[in-house]
Structure 1
């Protein structure tokens, strides 16, 4: 995360007092290990699978994602601080230890989240998971409808583009949803992908079947070190699952400065401030995340 913070110049926001404080990010994933870097800012826990009330993560993916968003880095003396170290985190476990889940579980989780959004001041939903387009059409339609409902309720939905690139029309669901913000990796074609189990150009690419530009925005996603589930340690992962919380964290910083912004306002701001010279013209995206311009 130190590399990502330097690349995006997150200190620009932090030094001005914008750390995401007062903003809660819901993380729909594999759960959460109560890492030292996150304790005190975890607002609750909802477990669709096992109905457990205490935080746990039997996979590690959700903890890593949450750390990218909001780790305060105290266990690493700041080295692995996340994007928005003052934000609140609300983990929602919808995936099992293998990372599997289903639409019924997601539907239950979203219904619960909408019922409690005001209680926890949920402003952002991070979805670093996706459904392949080979899934049943009715499931695809239902999942897209659900995330649109979250967006319409005033919550910014940020979803991963998936790791099925570089072919076109390879964005996973719900990332193909026209309304929400979909994130791809800006560094998926460099040598860092070697040894990560990902092909060069792994980031899902559009356009979608409806000729919608997806993903809209790119952020670093390759070889990011963040919170692990073992002994308050850290681990390194790659993928659009990691790029997505980089953008969610940036939005938490933005909303801590401009709390009145609606999801539509946030998406427009990302469009207006994207770095269009980041050498990704072949992907037909808006551009790469430019945090300094975003925060102006």
Structure 2
């Protein structure tokens, strides 16, 4: 019998009409697939909603087919004709009642699996974490030699260019970067569209993003059929999220000023991860077409979405995700992307207050060099891990690859002239993608590497002291933060090397650095106050009066939040907790 998720954990099956994904048994049997589709259309409640799921010919039902792959690939370059030879792997948005589900489940000769979609999560800010404000952001750029600097309005970016031990910074508002700034590198952002013509200063009518040709915006076929404008941020559940994420890649707040941003526009549909899968395939198609005229062009894929198990179900682990049909789909597709030499950067998740481990597909599939996803967590400016980040540090065997600043991040909204601070792993991941793009221009890893070997080298490079370091020592978890390679010579070139070391100010709200600050000559005490917001799901348990009936728990999408107020005493720069209050 095909695998399914229609059965609840208590062994009972839901009776209502639901949406499913259906997978075929043989992607090369065109006649059987055609018959299966006709048969399904007679069972579903609305056949107009059904969407065909296509895969590359080597992404077979039984797994990756190396021989088939070699027919279409040569030394990291794909034959573009492959897009005329895609295979049907099944259908999404298949609406069935319980009787229809039962009938499909029994069709073992045609159907290898039928399952409900996983729960979608977008790594947006927690409620109340974001505010809008209008700012006058007059750009002031100074350049000299091989490096350039953005002076002012670069508070978070300055951490990316801050080299160990960070006592050289003249101003925490300046960002130093290699002057090529990722020029020519394609950064594909898979989500619901970027407001590409948004103005960062409404009065001066200056666009935030560099000019983006509409023909260079990647769209899935279902999105094209909606007739919606691909130049707009079409997200409705978390309005402006994709635009805010994109603003961390390029532009005033972006880590890579000269990269080519490629929005990948997919349809926003509850829990339908087949659309982002389509988005990845369309992005890969776009990249392969670019290779025809620019054989050495480089690219990075980034996404700030993931899919988790339902609230009442056990959370996903790497092992269970590898056996899930959705997980298998991502595993085959990501391998196709990596075989083009393209790294994939993902936000690790924002529910760390109640789900410490990474538990979403595709993030949870990470397995070091064996499956080199780059999962990014969020940290505060001075290197303390953000409490809501999913992933247990960047130590050995962790599924979290790297951290970037994800707290109090200034972003461009999808509304003209509106900017503001926000938080989340959504805004840490694009910063890492931008730094990878910076490195890609001069490629510090072996130039002769191809395919997946190059992706592994990139992942290992950003984890090395060449591109990251621990800003704040002696934390419960290892928090290795991204660095763009700007060293002392770089700061000298742009005239931003401080003459004296900075020290923490007594009574300041700024957290002390993790570096070897000058030790005080006599004992002194400082009091540091911090505010942390903790979220937990709002759940209700119902227990029937029957002795053996068991209880059921349901959780709302909303969370309950509490504020935790910390007081720290610093005795000669040694931190000890004085008290903890919760409100």
Counterpart position of 1:5: 157
Secondary structure in structure 2 of the residue aligned to 1:26: strand
Counterpart position of 2:211: 40
Shift in CA distance, 181/28, structure 1 to aligned 2, threshold 3 Å: same
Q: Summarize the alignment of residues 51-62 of structure 1 with structure 2, pairs less than 5 Å apart.
A: 51=224, 52=228, 54-58=230-234, 59-62=239-242
| Structure whose alpha-carbon radius of gyration is higher | 2
- Between Structure 1 and Structure 2, the one with more helix by share is 1
Counterpart position of 1:201: 387
Contact 2:298 2:440 in 1 (8 A): no
Counterpart position of 2:350: 163
Alignment partners' CA distance in 1, 2:210 and 2:271:
26
- Displacement, 1:215? 0.8
What is the TM-score normalised by the length of structure 2?
0.43
Contact 1:171 1:206 in 2 (8 A): no
Counterpart position of 2:477: 283
Asked if residue 103 in structure 1 is aligned to residue 103 in structure 2, the reply is no
Instruction: Write out per-residue CA displacement over residues 142-196 of structure 1, whole angstroms, 9 at most, x where no aligned residue.
Output: 22432232122211100010011144323432222221111001229999x9xxx
Counterpart position of 1:50: 223
Q: Which moved more, 1:271-280 or 1:17-26?
A: 271-280
Counterpart position of 2:427: 242
Alignment partners' CA distance in 2, 1:12 and 1:292:
12
Q: Summarize the alignment of residues 44-193 of structure 1 with structure 2, pairs less than 5 Å apart.
A: 44-48=216-220, 49-51=222-224, 52=228, 54-58=230-234, 59-71=239-251, 73=252, 81-94=253-266, 96=268, 100-120=270-290, 121=297, 123-134=299-310, 137-166=324-353, 167-176=355-364, 177-178=366-367, 179-187=372-380
Unmatched segments (≥5 aa) in structure 2: 1-152, 163-173, 199-206, 291-296, 311-315, 491-583
Shift in CA distance, 284/100, structure 1 to aligned 2, threshold 3 Å: farther
Q: Summarize the alignment of residues 20-35 of structure 1 with structure 2, pairs less than 5 Å apart.
A: 20-34=182-196, 35=198
Q: Which has the higher contact order (CA 8 A, sep 6+)?
A: 1
- Displacement, 1:265? 2.0
Contact 1:125 1:157 in 2 (8 A): yes
Alignment partners' CA distance in 2, 1:57 and 1:243:
20
Instruction: Write out per-residue CA displacement over residues 21-45 of structure 1, whole angstroms, 9 at most, x where no aligned residue.
Output: 1101000012110131213256721
Secondary structure in structure 1 of the residue aligned to 2:357: coil
Alignment partners' CA distance in 2, 1:240 and 1:147:
21
Alignment partners' CA distance in 1, 2:414 and 2:184:
26
- Displacement, 1:280? 7.2
Shift in CA distance, 280/253, structure 1 to aligned 2, threshold 3 Å: farther
Superposition misfits of 4+ residues, deviation over 6 angstroms: 188-191
Instruction: Write out per-residue CA displacement over residues 212-255 of structure 1, whole angstroms, 9 at most, x where no aligned residue.
Output: 41211011011212221112532432100010011011111111
Cα RMSD over matched residues?
A: 3.3
- Between Structure 1 and Structure 2, the one with more strand by share is 2
Contact 1:171 1:214 in 2 (8 A): no
Equivalent residues, number: 275
Alignment partners' CA distance in 2, 1:212 and 1:140:
20
Secondary structure in structure 1 of the residue aligned to 2:306: coil
Q: For 1:216, which of 398, 401, 410 is the aligned residue?
A: 401
Secondary structure in structure 1 of the residue aligned to 2:470: coil
Q: Which moved more, 1:111-120 or 1:176-185?
A: 111-120
Unmatched segments (≥5 aa) in structure 1: 74-80, 194-199
Alignment partners' CA distance in 2, 1:255 and 1:161:
23
